Amino acid sequence: MNNDTYTCFTELKKNETEGSFNITCEIENRSNVYAIIAPHGGKLETGTTEISLAISREDLSLYIFNANKPNHNRTLHITSANFDEPQCEKMLVNVETVLAIHGARDPKVEPKERVWVGGNLRETFEIHLNETLKTLGLLIEINSNFLGKEPNNICNRGISQQGMQLELTKSLRDRLKMDKELLEQFSDAVRTAMMLTYPTA
């Protein structure tokens, strides 16, 4: 069930004050094959900004919507299927495939640190992630609550309409933010798995 305050970006921009959010969009001189997108970055799904930056580095296209309000940032959440901010829309029609980075709540049972895989390429992506992330000891799963299979899901709106999505639990995001070495290892593994899942040749 969608409990968003706004149904689209136009509504959000009309009702929110200047400075409540900012946008990072890096396309020029970057890959037109892969884009890393964090539609709920900043104070909304914490850690997704830093993780997206680590994965994209300086060569993959990058889009981040950063929520910056002192509080009540949940009002800035637009569900992935409805996310239509113009800079993001422009990026989506110019890149082949998308990896969307999201934050999820911790599960009630151990382990709390989990990677839930979604998108139209989720089955293949999960296989490659299990291989590239195995040395980090993380649990990688497909979760029926986060399949990301809808055509309008932001991860599936690249040119190929075949995308990938990661839902990272809060405990994992918190550790990645604190441990720079782990973040580098994680981002290396995700990049490799993504490129094996959607090879350029």
Reported as a single tens digit per residue, the pLDDT across 79-124 is 999 999 999 999 999 999 999 999 999 999 999 999 999 999 999 9
- Those residues with Cβ within 8 angstroms of residue 65's Cβ, 6 or more apart along the chain or in another chain: 21, 23, 38, 39, 40, 41, 42, 44, 76, 83, 85, 88
Reported as a single tens digit per residue, the pLDDT across 144-163 is 999 999 999 999 999 999 99
- Residue 99 · residue 164 · CB < 8 Å: yes
Can you list the domains of the chain with their CATH numbers? 9-197 (3.40.630.100)
User: What is the model's pTM?
Assistant: 0.97
Half-sphere exposure of 131 (CA within 13 A, CB side): 10
Reported as a single tens digit per residue, the pLDDT across 32-78 is 999 999 999 999 999 999 999 999 999 999 999 999 999 999 999 99
